[in-house]
Structure 1
Amino acid sequence: MLVWLAFRKKDSTKYSPANYGSIFYHEDDYRQVEIVPFENFNALIKQAENIEEFAEKNFDGIGYSDIMVREENELKLKDRGIPVTELEEVLLNLSLPRKTLVTTGISPGEMVSKNTLGYGENWNGLFFQFESDIVSSIWIAGTIPTGKDKVTDTLNVLGRKWNLLLMDWNSCKLIDLKDKEQIVTYLSFEDYGE
């Protein structure tokens, strides 16, 4: 009965069942396709080149004989001071369910990813973490399960509003999110529907 009363509050979207529930991302997807401040551009290019060179040297035909740990970005996303509420206003354009319980790990064996929200469905979506209502990281796991135009527009707004890049560590591609054509080209290589 108490839950039923909560749904009757004036702002019904805030208490919509779509705003609750859980979403899972595999632990290997954490920040593999991440959104970062533009000021890291040169360092990201250099690091991507180092990763590609390292991968070539350490590939044995089946797998890799060694691992490389990426360096942290000099300018962190949390340094932008993006309020969670402002990011969520932009993410509404995706028209995806907002999930307040985010789990990660290897299924089975999930654990709660604290201070994390997700937009999408299990294995696929846009996720972000926050500290004290300030966004500390944004990443994409799998693909964002909505139309390519919505994804393009949303990423472009993020880039223009906060001067951000998308770094895809899986393919070592770096995308200036202020440039809509770069986003369109990048998404054409990903598994996005129309």
Structure 2
Amino acid sequence: MFKRKTTARRNLEADGYLPLLWEDDYCQVVIVPLENTAYVLKSIAEIKPLSEASRTDFGFTEIFEHGEMPITTISKEIREEYLTWLLKGFGFERATHIDYNCDKIIDCTTGQTKAYGFSNFTLFFETEGEFVKHIWISISTLVSLAEISVEKFELIKSVLYSLGEECEMILVDWNRMELIDLRNRNKINNYLSYFWK
């Protein structure tokens, strides 16, 4: 049963960008250090056959834990200030609040979880002190590529590529059991095109 939208939520949506964060999506499409490539590929090889066997029309009958990355994002010492500068430089909108599970509003200005993006793509990150602890994304599959401006599509690709080139990061989609080298523009384009055909 969905809760009714509160007046506060309606006002925030009317004011602009209010990304939705589902608890189940936390770090499911995650951006992590390149040094984790071998670990991720090994994990995908172990989990993929089990996940395919448990897939239904409505999701999965089993839960598969992939565990913590051997090389953590925070160990890369990516400063919040740098990531914010990068995202703003590519025109990503900064969210002041996050709609968490459709039942709680999180304040991004004071909390550790931040969000930047557009109505159909959000890059979330969590901080610990001045450093970025986790980075993950949410992509809306409810829109087609025709509904996304070419400019926004290029900005999203450019941000992901910058994270790959400048910070040596990869994208891991645990939902699709796929690893994307963010230093490769073609792989980024192919990955995003899957969602927005």
1:15 is matched with which residue? Answer: none
Cα shift readout 1:103-126 (whole Å, capped 9, x = no counterpart): 422x2x225374011113567411
Q: Which moved more, 1:152-161 or 1:137-146?
A: 137-146
2:79 is matched with which residue? Answer: 83
2:106 is matched with which residue? Answer: 112
Cα shift readout 1:96-154 (whole Å, capped 9, x = no counterpart): 3201333422x2x2253740111135674111110101000111112497622111111
Give the TM-score normalised by the residue count of structure 1.
Answer: 0.77
CA distance in 2, matches of 1:117, 1:62: 30
CA distance in 1, matches of 2:39, 2:29: 16
The alignment status of 1:46 with 2:42, answered yes or no, reads yes
Runs of 4+ in 1 over 3 A off after TM superposition: 20-23, 59-65, 121-124, 143-146
1:164 is matched with which residue? Answer: 169
CA distance in 2, matches of 1:62, 1:24: 20
CA distance in 2, matches of 1:135, 1:63: 31
- Pairing 1:1-194 to 2, within 5 Å after superposition: 22-59=18-55, 64-105=60-101, 107=102, 109-110=103-104, 112=106, 114-121=111-118, 124-143=121-140, 147-191=152-196
CA distance in 2, matches of 1:110, 1:120: 20
Cα shift readout 1:130-180 (whole Å, capped 9, x = no counterpart): 010100011111249762211111111111111100001111111111111
CA distance in 2, matches of 1:56, 1:174: 17
Compute the RMSD of aligned alpha carbons. Answer: 2.6
Q: CA deviation at 1:56?
A: 2.7
Q: Select the structure of larger CA radius of gyration.
A: 1
Give the TM-score normalised by the residue count of structure 2.
Answer: 0.76
Please tell me the residue identity of whatever aligns with 1:132.
Answer: G
Report the CA distance shift for 1:60/1:160 in structure 2 as closer, same or farther (over 3 A): closer
Q: What are structure 2's unaligned runs of at least 5 residues?
A: 1-15, 142-147
Q: Which moved more, 1:122-131 or 1:77-86?
A: 122-131
Report the CA distance shift for 1:153/1:124 in structure 2 as closer, same or farther (over 3 A): closer
Note if contact 2:124-2:137 (Cα within 8 Å) is conserved in structure 1.
yes
Please tell me the residue identity of whatever aligns with 1:86.
Answer: Y
CA distance in 2, matches of 1:137, 1:170: 17
